[in-house]
Amino acid sequence: MVTKKQKAVIGAAIILSLPFSRLTATSFGPRASHATGVVSVHPLFKADEEPGQWMTGGRDWRQSYDSPLKQINRHNVGKLGYAWSSDIEGSSRLEATPIVVDDIMYVSSIAGMVYALNAETGQQLWRFDPGVGSFANLYAKACCGPVNRGVAFWKGRVYVAAFDGSLYALDATTGGVTWKADTIIDRSRAYTSTGAPYIAGDLVVIGNAGADFDARGYISAYDIRTGKLAWRFFTVPGDPRHSFEHPELKMAAKTWDKDSRWDAGLGGTVWDGMAYDPELNLLYVGTGNGGPWPQIIRSPSGGDNLFLSSILAINPKTGRLKWYYQTTPGESWDYTATQKIILADIRVRGKVRKVIMQAPKNGFFYVLDRVTGELLSARPYLRKLTWASRVDMKTGRPIVSDQARYWKSPRLIFPNVGGGHNWQPMAFNRETGLVYIPVLEMGMVFGLSPEPFSYKKARPNYHVNLGWPDANGHFDFMCETAFPACPDAEEVLKGQPETPPQSFLRAMHPVSGKIEWEAETTRNNQYKNRVGRPGGVMSTAGDLVFEGHLDGTFDVRNASNGALLKTMFVGNPIVAAPMTYMAGGVQYVAFLAGDRSDGAKSRVVALQLDKNIVPPPTQSQTAAGMESRALPPAQMSQVTERLVSKGRQFFEQNCATCHVGGNAPSLIPLREAAQRQFFDIVLGGIRANKGMGNFSTILSADDATAIRTYLIKASQESDH
């Protein structure tokens, strides 16, 4: 929380909240717009008057992922079936939610490719390719692959941020480029763009990714008509020996060690969640984790390290901060606050409050007054949460447990680095008054890397070792590669919660924190029997909540009680949130179905009532003749364990983030084609256009040989 002195600097006090016991349960009004003047501010915010459209990533300016449509409802959803599908490019996981404006669907796929489709038929009208394949080396500068989380629309233009950091304004009719802006301030560092742009008045705002490498976080605002830079707000200070870019950084610098690792960037990147209130004219921005992760390395003397893992309220006309709230002071666990932000008007202590809601990675669900930043509620949405016991409602700070201090010794900590809830959108239904959160209950063993920290330019700079649990809760400590000596599993796990990971869809009252219902959604991914993340969520006034899954199933539940009403097999993994719209008097439900298998083509799938089952996806040509089992190498018995150990270490450092439950296909088992082409793929970049870039500037031929050897050995073991 801010001090009195800090409040004076930024010119807006955060009001300390009353104790939670004095708050009442929420109540909710009708779906009509509560914000006066919204229609006159911007046509984008007329969503309540045009319920058949889905105009932003979260449908409306509230980013609620909730629709007032109810042609499809709990009484007839059993008749939901296939309407159409349209193949799109993308061998990496697809994370965008389509938007629909005036019967045209706009959707992005990997690296910022954009498609315009007829919303009734799926016919492709145009396609935009930002050409980042020519920036193949950039793919090695991302923790999580060349994903893209969507587009923005404003008065005949579509806005998209390409993976290489270029922001484009496209003509919505033709797909032609109206203007282009370079959002990257230092191309020698590992900056990329993976989030959707947000419209704030007459500006389009975008952040960047790269905190796990060496990026320094910031957001950039551009004139929506011309693309001219209006202002830039940095989320962490630079070296205080130099001048600060704006006054908020002078205050923030006081929360950092003066000898912090300024050379490493420090993180705080804004790679996803934002929202804009047109009535208050405030832009809300969620910020990311610190880099390196352990604060003891990043800022040795401690401090809150503002503005890491925070929610910022910024006046978009001036670019100045009105208030902030930090969810994880001194962040050391990759607990970002970049998750989706929802705006709502709900009743607290008998009074309707304008609130902002977020379920960041750290496991607590926050409700703040969006005018002042006052903390109204902070309840856990996880049942297993050990890094902190609670949030002190008087100070707004989490009570951090000793269990969280992995820099002392390896510790099992809940939640894991991916958080209890990540980028997958949650939904807020104004009819039920519930928030629907896709949750992963999974811990992880954290340990401080034993070697002295050495900053690596444009490379991962986590400086932690991680032990991942499999679906049964057994940990792989990666002894002799990551951990210098294998931790005593019995000692590390002693007294801690049981470790088998599980995922759930939870329906929760936002202020009381009561879980009204939950449904287990656990799905295993393809890597070492590990549990994958649940998909994003959408709800409707038809008393329905929709969610897709990694195994290609698509579920529809009763929003009031969680009863499963319909399940469909689509055939592609689904992780992005679905959406719904009206075209030609018919309600459709649509979503991206992404490809992680190198077999089936990615596609947009649309559903409607009284239709047939969803046909399987078509196969890509690259999948022809490709075997799913690993080939036994001719001379595997002669390979030394040292080479395998080295390969495993390089794999975990450079590949695992994407290929272990991430955005790219599993490499265990390593397929025949991948074995044959391994060096052309990794060092030659022959699959750069599919999201797998050229790593020749990072890995030597010997390094690549070691990784290939490890994967073949692991593939053999997976067959037994």
pLDDT one-digit tens code per residue, 657-696 = 677 655 567 788 887 777 777 877 887 777 766 667 778 7
Separation CA 443–CA 280 (nearest Å): 39
Among the listed residues 152, 59, 102, the one whose alpha carbon sits nearest the alpha carbon of residue 430: 59
pLDDT in tens, 188-229: 999 999 999 999 999 999 999 999 999 999 999 999 999 999
pLDDT at 436 over 50: yes
Whether residue 334 lies in the annotated active site: yes
More confident residue, 91 or 462: 462
Does the structure show a pLDDT above 80 at 377? yes
Q: Which domains does the chain have, with CATH numbers?
A: 4-68+94-623 (2.140.10.10), 636-718 (1.10.760.10)
Given a cut of 50, is residue 73 above it in pLDDT? yes
Q: What percent of the chain has pLDDT over 90?
A: 66
- Give the tokens for residue 239: 């070296």
Q: Please say whether the beta carbons of 516 and 559 come within 8 A.
A: no
Query: Which is catalytic among the residues 66, 304, 334, 555?
Result: 334
How far lies 668's CA from each of 13, 464, 549, 644, 663, in Å? 53, 24, 21, 14, 15
Q: Given this model, what pLDDT does residue 91 score?
A: 61
Which strands, in side-by-side order, build the sheet including 515-520? 427-429, 434-441, 502-508, 515-520
At residue 24 the predicted structure's pLDDT band, cuts being 50, 70 and 90, is very low
Q: What is the pLDDT of residue 626?
A: 34
- Between CA 720 and CA 718 the distance in angstroms is 5
pLDDT number for residue 137: 62
Q: What is the pLDDT of residues 394-433, one digit of tens each?
A: 999 999 999 999 999 999 999 999 999 999 999 999 999 9
Residue 481 has what pLDDT?
58
pLDDT in tens, 384-399: 999 999 999 999 999 9
- Say if residue 633 is preceded by a cis peptide, omega within 30 of 0: no
Give the pLDDT of residue 22: 25
Q: How many residues does the chain have?
A: 720
pLDDT band at 715 (very low <50, low <70, confident <90, very high): confident
| Nearest-angstrom CA–CA distance, 150 and 148 | 6
Q: Is the pLDDT of residue 5 over 70?
A: no
Residue 284 burial (10 A CB sphere; 0-12, 13-18, 19+): buried
Amino acid 134: pLDDT: 58
Rounded mean pLDDT, 311-322: 98
Using only C-alpha atoms, the chain has a radius of gyration, in whole angstroms, of: 24
Q: Note the Cα 552 to chain centre separation in Å.
A: 20
Token pair, residue 162, equals: 């390409």
pLDDT, tens digit, for every residue of 111-166?
Answer: 999 999 999 999 999 999 999 865 556 667 777 778 999 999 999 999 999 999 99
Residue with the two structure tokens 């009532």: 609
- Identity of the residue numbered 83: A
How distant, in Å, are the alpha carbons of 319, 423, 536 from that of 289? 22, 14, 22
Name which of 192, 245, 184 is nearest 220 in CA terms: 184
Is the pLDDT confidence value at 375 over 80? yes
The HSE-up count of residue 550 (CA atoms within 13 Å, CB side) is: 25
Measured from the Cβ of residue 297, the count of other Cβ atoms closer than 10 Å reads 23
Question: Minimum mean pLDDT among 68-77, 512-521, 705-714: which range?
Answer: 705-714
Give the residue-averaged pLDDT of 600-618. Answer: 91
Cα(347)–Cα(563) distance, integer angstroms: 27
Number of other residues whose CB lies within 10 A of the CB of residue 412: 24
Cα 384 to Cα 381: distance, rounded to the nearest angstrom? 9
Under the banding of pLDDT at 50, 70 and 90, the label for residue 11 is very low
Task: Kindly tell me the sign of the dihedral angle through the C-alpha atoms of 171, 172, 175, 180.
Answer: positive
> Quick check: 467 pLDDT over 60?
yes
What is the rounded CA–CA span in Å between residue 72 and residue 561? 17
State residue 140's pLDDT score: 72
Instruction: Give mean pLDDT, residues 579-591.
Output: 98
3-state SS class at 693:
coil
Cβ(601)–Cβ(619) below 8 Å: yes
Distance (Å, whole) CA 435 – CA 427: 6
Contact 376, 355 (CB under 8 A): yes
Query: Percentage of the chain surpassing pLDDT 70?
Result: 84
Q: How high is the pLDDT of residue 9?
A: 34
pLDDT averaged over every residue in the chain: 86
Closest CA to 171 of 104, 75, 228: 104
Residue 663 has a pLDDT of 57
pLDDT of residue 410: 93
